[in-house]
Each structure stands twice: as C-alpha cells, then as structure tokens.
C-alpha cells in the first residue's frame, strides 16, 4: 500500500485524511465533513483497502472469487469513475478489484463485471438500485458502505434509493458518510443508519479555500461571451467554465472554439463515452477549456485547473463553493471569476451573504 500511495504522489496527509483514516481502520462509523478538494476520496479509499486486505473482513470465497465487500455510492457518473480509478490504482497491487455501476451505459458490461465478483463496487444510486431490483446484485456480503457527497446525492433526489439500498445491507456493516455540508436531510440519514459515528471536520465547512483568488465582473448577458474570450486570451492554463444550461454550454463552446481555443463540453445530453472523452481530454491537456453544467461540479478532479469561470451564477451559495473548489486543488493556487448580469443580482447577494463579504469587483 505504501508503494501505491507514493506512486500517486501522496506525501503528507491532508487534514481530513489525518483525522479519518485512524477511526476507519478501527472499524468505526464516521461522518467526514470537509471542503471540496481536500482529499476525501483517499481518506476513505486507503483505509477501506487496508481493511479489505487485512484480517476479519474476508468472507468465504465462491468458486475462487470473493463476493463484494465494499460499496461506494456517489451522486454523479463522473465522480463514480474517479473514485473507481482511485481504488484501482491504490488497491491493484493488493489484488483488490473494482466494478463501476453507473447510468448511461449498457447493462451487459456491468453484468460481466459483477460476475467476476469484485471486492469493491462504486455506483450511482439509481443504477445500483436497478441491479438490486433485477436481482443481478445482492448486498448481503457488504462490510463497508461509503456515502460520498451525501448532501449532493440527496439534493439530486436520490434519498429513496439510498434508503432502500441501506435497508438491504447488513446491519453490522461499517458506514462512512462524507459530505461538504450537513443539512437537515443528511443529519437525519446519519441518525438512522450510522452507529455512534466519529465526526471529523477539516477546516471551515462550505467556504472556499483561501488560495482561490475570486473576482466578479458585472456584465450584461450579451457581454459575457466577449468577456470570456478576452480572459482566455490574456492568460494561459486550463480553464473550466460553468453555464446554467446545456444549450448555453453548446453555444459558448462554439464561440470559444471559433476563437481558436481547444475546447470541449460536458453536460447531460452528451453520451457517457462523449463525457468520458471530454474529461479525459481535459485532464490530459488535449483540451484547454471545458464548458460544463452543474452536473459536473463535484465530478471533475483535475489537479491543475488554473481558472474557474462562472459564466452564469449558480442558484445556491453551496454550488458556488463547489464550482470554484475545482481550482486551487491540493497546495496549488487558482482563480475564480464570476460574471453577474442584472437578473442575477439576487443570486449574488445570496452568495455574498454566505461568504460573509463581497466578492471582489474588477
């Protein structure tokens, strides 16, 4: 495990990792609250792999293969894929296998992956519940269940599926709940399904990291695209642009591409293969600019995003925090620029009230 951790570049534990790994290794239920970009995935992946490969969590094999022993639920396909990648990289040397169950892909490959009896399943709630309903997957062998980005899962309407999934898992499982915020719905879920959990908090919850330099431009709607093109021309580095709608993402991407920038799009109308190609291309640097809707706000894990642009302001302060948290990952610094049209001033006031100060104006 140490070699795998070193291979992915981890040297010093982040605060959430330092506080969470010990209790998880002890088998405790845990609530982990931390800002986006603070290393939550490794905080549960590392000790989960250690527990699965240690004593006490290995059930009898069936046909030489173990049944699933850990489940991670995530709100979006992109986040699920990234979590699965982390488990694969960290657990491969120890023989830990992973299957991904997400919507937007055919059942055939997923059924084949389940027949190989993976140790860890990473899934979105809707698709996992489909498998449970079809009886292509039983969850009675699970020893560890992780709810990642629990607040977003409930915001997206997955509460009924999450509740039903938890009801068909063993009562003596270890349950880990990670969330950037702790609204009433998440607190109620924790009370129902976690047993004497340890709570760890890393930093101020739902606040942007200090290394993000925020800036606001007041702009009419028709001025936003020229302003974005100007900013892209004045600087270098990868830029993530958030728009409110899929139609606007397509339109802005066309304008950015026509200006000579390498650009791609990420939204719900694109196929899973197109979304994966967009993320992989952005991560590798093949595309300099990614235009996305909020579906990707918590699913993009690219360590070197220099600039996040809110082409349209989000409707909630929490979404603003998660959007701009895509930059200034790990120990890096970054920029977050927002465009505010006159019709978005109410959203701006909500964001600034949450921050406790005005966003600096240009």
Confidence (pTM): 0.69
Task: Tell me what pLDDT residue 77 has.
Answer: 87
Q: Are 43 and 96 in contact (CB under 8 A)?
A: no
Task: Tell me what pLDDT residue 35 has.
Answer: 65
Name every residue whose Cβ is closer than 8 Å to that of residue 224 and which is 6 or more positions away in sequence: 311, 339, 341
Q: Write a three-state SS string for 72-132.
A: EECCCHHHHHHHHHHHHHHHHHHCCCEEEECCCCCHHHHHHHHHCCCCEEEECHHHHHHHH
Residue 225 and residue 184 share a domain: no
Q: Is residue 299 part of a domain?
A: yes
Q: Is residue 207 part of a domain?
A: no
Provide the CATH number for the domain around residue 233. Answer: 3.40.50.300
Task: Tell me what pLDDT residue 56 has.
Answer: 47
Residue 22 and residue 69 share a domain: yes
Q: Which domain holds residue 240?
A: 212-355
Alpha carbon distance 260, 352 (integer Å):
35
Alpha carbon distance 117, 108 (integer Å):
15
CA angle (288, 36, 190) in 5-degree steps: 145
Q: Is residue 180 part of a domain?
A: yes
Residue 156 and residue 53 share a domain: yes
Residues of the chain falling short of pLDDT 70: 1-11, 35-37, 55-66, 203-210, 295-299, 301, 328-332
Residue 268 and residue 163 share a domain: no
Task: Tell me what pLDDT residue 63 has.
Answer: 45
Task: Tell me what pLDDT residue 358 has.
Answer: 92
Residue 95 and residue 53 share a domain: yes
């Amino acid at each position: 495990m140490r070699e795998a951790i070193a291979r992915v570049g981890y040297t010093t534990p982040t605060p959430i990792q330092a506080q969470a790994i010990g209790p998880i290794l002890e088998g405790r239920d845990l609530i982990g609250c931390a800002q986006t970009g603070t290393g939550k995935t490794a905080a549960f992946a590392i000790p989960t792999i250690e527990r699965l490969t240690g004593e006490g969590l290995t059930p009898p094999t069936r046909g030489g293969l173990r049944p699933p022993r850990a489940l991670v639920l995530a709100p979006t396909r992109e986040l699920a894929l990234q979590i699965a990648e982390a488990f694969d990289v960290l657990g491969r040397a120890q023989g830990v296998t992973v299957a991904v169950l997400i919507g937007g892909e055919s059942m055939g490959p997923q059924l084949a992956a389940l027949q190989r009896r993976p140790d860890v399943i990473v899934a979105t709630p809707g698709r996992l519940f489909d498998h449970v309903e079809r009886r292509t997957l039983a969850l009675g062998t699970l020893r560890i269940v992780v709810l990642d980005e629990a607040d977003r899962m409930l915001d997206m309407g997955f509460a009924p599926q999450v509740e039903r999934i938890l009801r068909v898992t063993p009562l003596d499982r270890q349950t880990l709940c990670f969330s950037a915020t702790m609204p009433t719905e998440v607190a109620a879920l924790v009370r129902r399904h976690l047993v004497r959990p340890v709570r760890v908090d890393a930093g101020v919850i739902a606040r942007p990291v200090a290394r993000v330099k925020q800036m606001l431009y007041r702009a009419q709607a028709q001025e936003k695209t020229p302003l974005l093109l100007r900013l892209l021309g004045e600087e270098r580095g990868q830029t993530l642009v958030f728009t409110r709608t899929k139609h606007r993402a397509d339109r802005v991407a066309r304008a950015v591409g026509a200006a000579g920038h390498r650009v791609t799009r990420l939204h719900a109308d694109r196929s899973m293969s197109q979304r994966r190609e967009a993320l992989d291309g952005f991560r590798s640097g093949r595309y300099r600019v990614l235009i996305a809707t909020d579906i990707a706000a918590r699913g993009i894990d690219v360590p070197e995003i220099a600039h996040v642009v809110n082409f349209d302001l989000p409707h909630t302060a929490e979404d603003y925090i998660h959007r701009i948290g895509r930059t200034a990952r790990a120990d890096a610094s970054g920029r977050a620029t927002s465009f505010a049209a006159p019709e978005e001033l109410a959203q701006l006031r909500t964001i600034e009230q949450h921050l406790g100060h005005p966003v600096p104006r240009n």
